[in-house]
Homo-oligomer: A and B are copies of this chain.
Amino acid sequence: MRALACDLGGTNVRFGLGVDGRLDPETVVQFPNERFSDFGTALKHYFGQVRVGRVERAVVALAAPIDGDTICLTNRNWTIARAEIAEIAGTGDVVLINDFVALGAALSRAEALVTRPVLPGAAGRGVKLVLGAGTGFNASALIEGGHVLAAEIGHTGFAPEPGLETALRDHFAGRFGRCSLDRVLSGSGLVALYRVACDRSGRAAALGDAAAVTAEGAAGRDADAVLACGTLAGMLGRTAGDLALTFLPRGGIYLTGGVTGALAPFIQGPDSPFARAFLAKGRMRELMRGFTLDLVMDQSAALVGCLAWPDLPCNTVCGGRAAGPT
Residues on A facing B (Cβ under 8 Å): 65, 67, 74, 124-127, 143-145, 147, 149-153, 155-162, 166, 169-170, 173, 176-178, 180, 238, 241-242, 245-248, 250, 280-284, 287, 313, 315-318
Q: Which residue of B lies closest to A124 (CB)?
A: B316
**Residue from the list B246, B283, B315 in contact with A156, Cβ < 8 A:** B246
**Residue from the list B127, B151, B162, B318 in contact with A246, Cβ < 8 A:** B151
Q: Is the CB of A155 within 8 A of B281?
A: yes
The CA of A125 and the CA of B158, in the complex, are separated in Å by 29
Q: Is the CB of A162 within 8 A of B169?
A: yes
**Residue from the list B124, B250, B313, B318 in contact with A145, Cβ < 8 A:** B313
Q: Is the CB of B151 within 8 A of A173?
A: no
Q: Which 4 A-B pairs have the closest CB atoms?
A: A157-B159, A156-B242, A159-B159, A126-B316
Chain B residues whose C-beta falls within 8 Å of the C-beta of A284 in the assembled complex: 65, 152, 155
Q: Is the CB of B156 within 8 A of A245?
A: yes
Q: How far is the CB of A225 from chain B (nearest CB, A)?
A: 25
Chain B residues whose C-beta falls within 8 Å of the C-beta of A159 in the assembled complex: 156-160
Q: How far is the CB of A296 from chain B (nearest CB, A)?
A: 21
Chain B residues whose C-beta falls within 8 Å of the C-beta of A126 in the assembled complex: 315-316
Q: Which residue of B lies closest to A154 (CB)?
A: B245
Given A162-B170, A283-B74: A245 and B152 within 8 A (CB)? Answer: yes
The CA of A161 and the CA of B170, in the complex, are separated in Å by 9
Q: Copies of this chain, how many?
A: 2
Q: How far is the CB of A78 from chain B (nearest CB, A)?
A: 15
Q: How far is the CB of A246 from chain B (nearest CB, A)?
A: 5
12 interchain pairs, CB-CB under 8 A: A67-B287, A74-B283, A127-B315, A149-B149, A151-B248, A156-B241, A156-B245, A162-B169, A162-B173, A177-B280, A246-B246, A250-B315
The CA of A284 and the CA of B180, in the complex, are separated in Å by 11
The CA of A218 and the CA of B69, in the complex, are separated in Å by 46
Chain B residues whose C-beta falls within 8 Å of the C-beta of A246 in the assembled complex: 151, 153, 156, 246
The CA of A284 and the CA of B74, in the complex, are separated in Å by 10
The CA of A315 and the CA of B247, in the complex, are separated in Å by 9
Chain B residues whose C-beta falls within 8 Å of the C-beta of A157 in the assembled complex: 159, 238, 242
Q: Which residue of B lies closest to A67 (CB)?
A: B287
Chain B residues whose C-beta falls within 8 Å of the C-beta of A67 in the assembled complex: 287
Q: Which residue of B lies closest to A141 (CB)?
A: B149
Q: Is the CB of B155 within 8 A of A283?
A: yes
Chain B residues whose C-beta falls within 8 Å of the C-beta of A176 in the assembled complex: 282
Chain B residues whose C-beta falls within 8 Å of the C-beta of A162 in the assembled complex: 169-170, 173
